[in-house]
Every structure is written in structure tokens, then in C-alpha cells.
Amino acid sequence: MEKRPLLKTITSRLWPPDWPMAAYAAALGLFIWQPHIPRPVHHLASIGPQIELAAHVLIWIVYPVVLAWCLICLARRIPAAGANTKKRRGAIVNLGTVALSVVLPLVMLPGSLTLTAALAREVFVDGPTYVHVVPEAREVQVVGRINKGLTERLRHKLDQHPEVQIVSLTSEGGRFYEGDDLRMLIRERGLSTYVPLFCLSACTNVFAGGTKRWLRPGAVLGFHGAVVRTIYGAKAVTDTEVRDVLIEAGVNKTFADRAQATPHAQMWLPTVPELLQAGVITGITGQKAVREQASAAPEQAPPPASATSARP
């Protein structure tokens, strides 16, 4: 009996339709599993919004190609089975299963389009957030959305300018978890936060990291419940996450509960007396006074590498 080459034997056993079936199962698995990736994996600082957008679009390009490949291979298997009833039945069942599974990505399509639009806005419309150090004022200014990678950019600026004592924030918000990482960075460095104009949504998360938290007269803080966008659509952050951030910063429970309970589609703009009474802000003051306080503070040495490394 003539021996067949090993590679040809393996190929004949796996093609078709086992390879396309395996590829299709992997592609479908990406859709199902992606929103449930643990935060430390999903939030790698090295993966910028450009790569995230490209990967998301690529999945939607690859998926229909793999699906078509799988359906064609399975359809060809039915006549190839000939009179073998068992093989024909198996091929028909596999074909039907794959065809029905197409419903799942179609259900995800609205949420996926929303997520893609948000990523595209972050990459092409918002552009990079402005991060600028004013050395003589010992201040770093952050102006723009809280987008992915901002924590590492701010960390780099602070490492270059250990004299910085104030983080000035002007932002309409952005990514909740990126804001949380910024809050942790500001808190580890023992910096104060200051809002000259407005700080809304995820920006208040960053603001809460300040050892002292100042508002310029007329500036506003805006709070609401947080959501994370996935291919399943907007998903609320855990019931207590916004609340816990505020309580950890010394804000009273009543205020934190109201901030958490405000729907994401709305924005609660508390008054200055409410902010002072709840312990959200240290006080109201002008930029000059804040800079004078920073100039009087002793310069801090940059923390060791272990303290400045990103959270896992």
C-alpha cells in the first residue's frame, strides 16, 4: 500500500470544512468574548485608539470573508457526501448552525457601529489631548477629551518636570477607566487639581485625585453615571464605581450617591455651596492664587519606577 505524505494526509483530513469551521468559530468567539475581556487586558496603555479602531474594523472585514468561506465549504460537502446519509445529515446540520449563528453579529451591529463611530471620533476628530507644562507656574495643563493613552502622556510629562504641583483640567469627559488611571497617577504624585472652565463626566474622576481641589470662579463640575461602550452597545459601569471614587476622595455619601444615580444621558451641575459642603472642592480661587501656593510648595522628587508604573 502506497504511503501518503504526512502533510497531504493532514490536509486531506482538515480541508474542507474543518479549517473554515475552526476559523469561523474563532471569529464568532471574538464577537462574543470581546466585551468581557478583563479590564487589565482591555486597557493596555500600549494599545492606542488607532490600533483599537483598526482591530475593530478588521474584525468586521475578516468575519464576512470567513463566514462565506465556511458556508461555501459546507455547501459543497453535502453533494460530496453522496449516498452516505450520516455525512449528508451532518453537513446539513453544520450548514444550518452556521447560517443561524449569523443572527448574533447582526444583533451586535448597532452597538458595533456606535463603538466604531466613537473610536473614529477619538482618532480623527478629537485628535490628541493638549498636555502642556508651564514650568514657571509648576503647572501642567490638560485640555481635551480623556482619551486612551493620556495617562502615559501625563506620566511622561511629570517625569520630565518633577517641579509640577498642579494639574489644570479642562475637559468634557471621555473614557471612564482612563480617567480612573489619571486619578491614581495624580494621587500617587501628591498633586493638586484645578478647573479654570469646566470639568465634566470622566474628567471629575481625574479631578478627584487631587490632594487639594480648586475651582476658578464661574467654573463648573458635571457628574453622571458612567458607561463603557462595547459591541453590545453602551454598558453601565458597576453600580458603585463612580460613587466609590468620590467617597475615596473624601466626598460625603449623599453627594456620591446622587452623582452615581444621575443617568448618563443627563448631567448634574452642583452649585458651589453643594460642592463645598460635600467636600468635593477645597475652595474657589483664581489661577494666580493657585500658582502662588504651588510656588511656595517644596519641589518633589520623582517617585521610584515601581510607584510610577501603570496598574496591571
> How many Å apart are CA 45 and CA 307, to the nearest integer?
16
Which backbone phi and psi does 170 adopt, to 5 degrees? Answer: -135, 105
> How many Å apart are CA 58 and CA 38, to the nearest integer?
21
Highest-pLDDT range among 33-37, 68-72, 253-257 = 253-257
pLDDT digits (tens, 9 = 90+) for 127-144: 678 899 988 889 999 999
Fold of domain 129-308:
2-enoyl-CoA Hydratase; Chain A, domain 1 (3.90.226)
CB 196 within 8 A of CB 168: yes
Query: What's 237's DSSP letter?
Result: P
232 has pLDDT over 70: no
> How many Å apart are CA 217 and CA 219, to the nearest integer?
6
Name the residue ranges covered by the structural domains of the chain: 6-115, 129-308
Say which residue, 163 or 19, is predicted with more confidence. 163
Q: For a pLDDT cut of 90, what percent of the chain falls above it?
A: 35
Q: Where are the beta strands (DSSP E) in the chain?
A: 130-134, 139-143, 166-170, 192-195, 198-200, 213-215, 220-222, 227-230, 233-236, 283-284
pLDDT digits (tens, 9 = 90+) for 142-182: 999 898 888 988 999 999 999 999 999 999 998 888 899 99
pLDDT at 15: 46
Asked if the bond preceding 17 is cis, omega within 30° of 0, the reply is yes
36 has pLDDT over 70: no
CA distances, 301 to each of 137, 162, 195, 196, 202 (Å) = 17, 6, 25, 27, 28
40 has pLDDT over 60: no
pLDDT at 38: 44
In three-state form (DSSP H/G/I as H, E/B as E, the rest C), the secondary structure along 41-93 is HHCCCCCCHHHHHHHHHHHHHHHHHHHHHHHHHHHHHHHHCCCCHHHHHHHHH
What's the whole-number mean pLDDT along residues 47-56? 70
pLDDT band (50, 70, 90) for residue 28: low
What's the whole-number mean pLDDT along residues 52-80? 74
26 has pLDDT over 90: no
**Taking the model in full, what pTM does it have?**
0.67
pLDDT band (50, 70, 90) for residue 126: low
184 has pLDDT over 70: yes
308 has pLDDT over 50: no
pLDDT at 208: 95
pLDDT digits (tens, 9 = 90+) for 272-289: 999 999 999 999 988 778
In the chain, what is the straight-line distance between the N-terminal and C-terminal CA atoms, in Å? 58
pLDDT at 287: 77
pLDDT at 16: 46
Mean pLDDT in the chain?
A: 76
pLDDT band (50, 70, 90) for residue 22: low
Residue 36: exposure state from Cβ atoms within 10 A (0-12, 13-18, ≥19): exposed
